[in-house]
């Protein structure tokens, strides 16, 4: 799963946004968040928004990232 997401991020043009969330299991989402935070610290992407779940506080429903 992380390889697919990394490939999608690498293929994004600068300034384009990507929404991650649909089809990602809760346990995988934490790994995705860690990957995105790592890429943000390296200056590859910018985390625009992290949407938390309204039904289960603490769980992330989706992430919007932007390639920089």
Domain region containing 25: 2-67
Give dist(CA 43, CA 36) in Å, integer: 10
Per-residue pLDDT of the chain (68 residues; tens, 9 = 90+): 899 999 999 999 999 999 999 888 888 999 999 999 999 999 999 999 999 888 877 789 999 999 99
Q: Specify the pLDDT at position 1.
A: 84
The per-residue pLDDT for range 10-27, each reduced to its tens digit, is 999 999 999 999 888 888
- pTM here? 0.85
Q: How many domains does the chain have?
A: 1
Tokens 């995988």 found at: 28
Q: Choose among 10, 4, 63, 3: nearest CA to 37.
A: 63
Q: Specify the pLDDT at position 59.
A: 86
Which residues does 55 contact at the CB level (< 8 Å), separation at least 6? none
């Amino acid at each position: 799963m992380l390889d697919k997401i990394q490939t999608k991020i690498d293929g994004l043009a600068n300034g384009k946004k990507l929404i991650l969330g649909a089809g990602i299991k809760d346990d995988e989402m934490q790994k995705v968040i860690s990957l995105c935070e790592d890429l943000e610290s390296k200056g590859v992407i910018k985390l625009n928004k992290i949407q938390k779940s309204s039904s289960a506080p603490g769980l992330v429903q989706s992430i919007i990232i932007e390639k920089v």
